[in-house]
Structure 1
Amino acid sequence: MIVNHIFSKRQSIATYTIQELSSLIKSGQVKLREVNKLHVRAIKKYILENVLTEQIYIPPMVANVDSLGTDKPKELTIIDGNQRLRAFCQIEEMGCRAAKSDNEEEMKKGYKLLHFVMNTEVAIQLFEGLSKEDADQLYIDLNTKGKKVALSKRIAFDSRKELNVITNTILKSNKQLKLAGVEIEKRAVVRPTNKKLLSLSHLRQIVAIFLTGKMIYRPNDDYYDTHLEAQEYIKLINRWFHELFRLYPAERIGDFNESVIANYPLLVSIAYYANNGLEQFSLEERKQELVQRMRRLNNVDFNRLNPVWKEFKGTARLGFYYLSNDKETIEKLVSWLENQGR
């Protein structure tokens, strides 16, 4: 084990099998802080979902030790990684129970979990002789100073979440949407200066409406059922954008000087109006009904100067009217669209 002098503290890095760490925890040689049960559960879910494909990536943990020598320490105080270690211990217990199951699939998964526990090594960065104050400050720095991964990168690189994969595919392949514009660099589209139709976050929320049937959707909510294949959702969403740009040309739809659809609450209301109650239907049934609903809006005046928009909650500012982005306003907009489409 190589030991380096960094500033006034010596540090090193060592690898431990999960089984080895689990045994050290049970014997009290590894000390953990209090853990967040929801975070532990999320880590376990991540492991269970990916253990069969062996696509599990765990960043190094950080620990304090009394002394660094030639052998890796057996007594550690974990500074960062407590939730991960607790999840590992619970995974081992789950594997033992599942391996004894009478159900063949459960037994197979149990042995896979035990193989993972016995053969997977995780890295721990070791600091020698930190005081409690230093250890606490290091924990705070590790969890507050790191740069959060940008939404555009999470969507582009996350191949596991169907929501991100579909959003990324739509973003890259829909030529009309590219013409209308998607703001990737900034988190918000500031009107009227920015004439792009929507932000990347807004695009993902619209994709989520197609997947979940929910009007108000939280992107970190992974618990929803889908009824179509990813490619079918992509076809459906592309068709919706095609119909949307029939209502207002793609090259001008994001210009708030003329288009009220550049008001995001109205855009998301149109998406929900087109999908409401259809999430369990087949692709062809949904597509047919979606087209019919969108074309019933052909006679709606989507110019921002249409006085009807001021009947909905919003804020007037510098000659523009901004619809409120809240559940009540969106529900009223959806009801209004449904009445127009009859």
Structure 2
Amino acid sequence: MRNVRRWIGAAAVPVLVLAGGVTLAGTAVALPDTGSVAVSNGSDAPVTFEADGTTFHGSLRNPDGAAVAAALLLPGSGPTDRNGNQPGVAADTLVRTADALAAHGIASLRFDKIGAGETGLGSYTVETVGEYGFTEQVDHAEAAVRLLAERTGVSPEEILVLGHSEGALTALALADRGIGDGFAFLAPLPMRYLDLLTAQLNAVVDSGQLGPDGEAVRADLSRAVESLRTTGAFPTDLHPVLAQFGMNPANAKFLFESDKLDPVELAAELAADTPVLLTCSDKDLNISCAQVEPLRNALSHTDLQFEHFTTANHSLEELGPLQPGPADQVALLPTSFEFSAAIDGWAAARGR
């Protein structure tokens, strides 16, 4: 899908994955959709809901026995499906999280966002997808909350909200609307969106992957950020590499709106003693633990469970002694042992 976003959740520094599954080295990656996986806790039921003229498709995970709580699961950036996957990027992050929650009696809803799975582009076309902004993404998540509340009887104010990567910003935006009574920010976007993209792209330039074009890309990167923040649009003469990394007209509205929100400021506004799970990992090439630290400090007034992993990649898969890299983006690896223990402990305190 041309120009559809594939950023934080799909990108790895020093090698970022571009739209269409092509890496900087020019290697095409095309993996089949992993589809549904074996469910070991509870069972999935297909659901749909309407928002902004689009029918969203998802799965409601019902635990064995009566549900004692309900959770909305929000994916990372780009065209991510209900399981947490994209074409060429296998992780099953969300379906594995649903499984962990169900073991503690927590029902959960996850859905194919715009550009992914059965939802597809919905009411948008390739030509009009640039009209899709972050505000719409939060609206769609709120519509999912309403469906979850209807199906489980848990009010929107009491629903748990778990967001992976960019999904953590969506979760914080829902909290700002008064939704949620417990949050998990998993490998979260920890700063303003354009600041993180700048850090990621500067790391690519520093790695030498762009060769002699590197410094030109760096200069245009600064110009692109300044222009978007002041005018809401990107300059028309940016280096083509920046367009490949998402800085193009199709993404301008989404980036402009999402960049206005500072996760640290939103986190500081959460009610005292709100249950929060926050994670980072030393082997996350997209977001470092040092970048997450200001977010951790902003959450100090909450009932915070902070987990500093050492062997999990950005998708919360287990790397063990292996070094992170492009291969672990495309291969479906086992769930991180550290994440399994962390989500199990957090869910146990929320469920039965």
| TM-score normalized by the length of structure 2 | 0.23
Q: Which has the larger radius of gyration?
A: 1
Give the structure, 1 or 2, with the largest relative contact order (CA under 8 Å, sep 6 or more): 2
Structure 1 or 2: more helix by fraction: 1
